[in-house]
């Protein structure tokens, strides 16, 4: 690759590189598969003379990779990507082979987020240490477990964000290529009810049906949803009982909560903890936590977005922004450093589907935008 302030990103080269990464399947919970992907990314960076560091995986998950470029000191730019996908090994052969149809390229993880990760790699590779306009060191972190909540990478992500002035996240663009400046937080809880088991025929009167008790609380919990404020609560699974002829002793509900703001999170958790059994014959046990904090659009994030929007305008396209209910690793960084998400490929709202694809024609523009951001942020 050439190294100049007028770097170009040919479509053919981008598409070849993205295809090469897409055709290495890397589902989150298959650590060996993810590491095959990480091997390629690491080798590609080293071929460009970029320093890399590998963080060994744990709990059967894959390794995390850190690439650093630039000799400058002080807070820099963190580019955040992930190597894992939601698609199991075999998707490429059976369901979603790499193919091109018109202006769309299809493949597992091409939007979320191998396309965006490759755009970041391409932009970073083009940075020239002799370019006087480039002033901030760049760190590219590619984690192995984002799609399952980043259980082994959150600590690394937050540590690297604390070293950064800006964070750029290469999740796919939304709704026609919009970047993302806000995401809801995610909380997950489990409500367990204990009642009293008895024979459903002989001693039904003496039983205390945990399923009935749980059902009453589910209705109350679902009623806390407030669409006007953007708060949604979903009881997604319930289970309980043993046999039809036994009054059920135990019933459990799993609850997903999407939170627009931190205060709303505190409010809803307080309300959940205030739930009481309808009688002393039942016991309630609530467990859970906020897994990803809300990512809210602060003044610093607005300024970062405006810089990106101005660069995009100079390149001939409009970069709108949006908020989304889906979470990403940006939720971990937004309260630490100014964070701009959704600057990967235009994913045409296809992530996680059997028709996952990217808009080919937009890739060079978005790579150029990312490159110019890395050069011009101060």
| pLDDT of the residue at 3 | 37
pLDDT, one tens digit per residue, over 42-93 is 999 999 999 999 999 999 999 999 999 997 778 999 999 999 999 999 999 9
Q: Are 255 and 267 in contact (CB under 8 A)?
A: no
- Distance of CA 264 to CAs 35, 222, 272, Å? 38, 16, 12
The whole-number mean pLDDT for each consecutive block of 10 residues of the chain, a chain of 378 residues, reads 63 98 98 98 97 96 97 89 97 96 98 98 94 94 97 97 98 93 96 98 97 97 95 96 97 96 92 96 96 95 98 96 93 97 95 97 97 96
pLDDT, one tens digit per residue, over 240-284 is 999 999 999 999 999 999 999 999 999 999 999 999 999 999 999
| pLDDT of the residue at 136 | 96
| pLDDT of the residue at 357 | 98
What are residue 317's phi and psi, to 5 degrees?
A: -140, 160
DSSP string, 167-235: EEE-PPBBTTTBEEEEE-EEEEEEEEEE-B--BTTTSGGG-B-HHHHHHHHHHHHHTT-BGGGTBEEEE
- Alpha-carbon radius of gyration of the chain: 24
| pLDDT of the residue at 5 | 54
324 secondary structure, DSSP code: E
Residues in the chain: 378
Angstrom distance (rounded) from CA 259 to CA 245: 41
| pLDDT of the residue at 217 | 97
| pLDDT of the residue at 285 | 98
Taking the alpha carbons at both ends of the chain, their separation in whole angstroms is: 25
């Amino acid at each position: 690759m050439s190294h100049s302030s007028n770097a170009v990103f040919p479509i053919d080269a981008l598409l070849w590189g993205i295809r090469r990464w897409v055709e290495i399947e890397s589902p989150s919970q298959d650590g060996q598969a993810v590491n095959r992907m990480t091997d390629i990314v690491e080798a590609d960076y080293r071929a460009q003379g970029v320093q890399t560091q590998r963080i060994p995986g744990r709990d059967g998950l894959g390794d995390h990779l850190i690439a650093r470029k630039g000799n400058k000191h002080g807070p820099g730019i963190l580019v955040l990507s992930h190597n894992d996908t939601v698609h199991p090994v075999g998707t490429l052969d059976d369901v979603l082979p790499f193919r091109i149809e018109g202006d769309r390229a299809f493949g597992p993880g091409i939007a979320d987020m191998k396309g965006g990760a490759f755009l970041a790699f391409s932009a970073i590779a083009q940075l020239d240490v002799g370019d006087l306009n480039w002033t901030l060191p760049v760190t590219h972190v590619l984690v192995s477990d984002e799609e399952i909540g980043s259980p082994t990478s959150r600590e690394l992500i937050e540590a690297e964000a604390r070293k950064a002035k800006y964070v750029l996240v290469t999740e796919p663009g939304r709704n026609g290529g919009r970047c993302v400046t806000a995401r809801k937080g995610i909380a997950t809880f489990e409500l367990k009810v204990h009642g009293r088991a008895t024979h459903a025929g002989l001693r039904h009167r003496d039983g205390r049906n945990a399923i009935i008790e749980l059902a009453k609380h589910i209705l109350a919990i679902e009623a806390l949803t407030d669409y006007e404020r953007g708060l949604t609560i979903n009881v997604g699974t319930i289970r309980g009982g043993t046999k039809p002829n036994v009054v059920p002793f135990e019933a459990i509900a799993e609850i997903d909560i999407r939170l627009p703001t931190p205060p709303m999170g505190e409010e809803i958790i307080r309300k959940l903890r205030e739930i009481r059994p309808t009688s002393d014959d039942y016991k309630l046990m609530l467990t859970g936590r906020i897994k990803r904090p809300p990512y809210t659009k602060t003044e610093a994030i607005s300024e970062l977005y405006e810089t990106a929007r101005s660069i995009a305008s100079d390149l001939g396209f409009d970069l709108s922004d949006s908020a989304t209910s889906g979470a990403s690793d940006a939720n971990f960084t937004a309260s630490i450093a100014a964070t701009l998400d959704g600057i990967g490929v235009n994913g045409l709202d296809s992530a996680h589907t059997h028709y996952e694809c990217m808009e080919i024609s937009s890739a060079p523009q978005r790579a150029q935008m990312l490159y110019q951001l890395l050069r011009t942020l101060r």
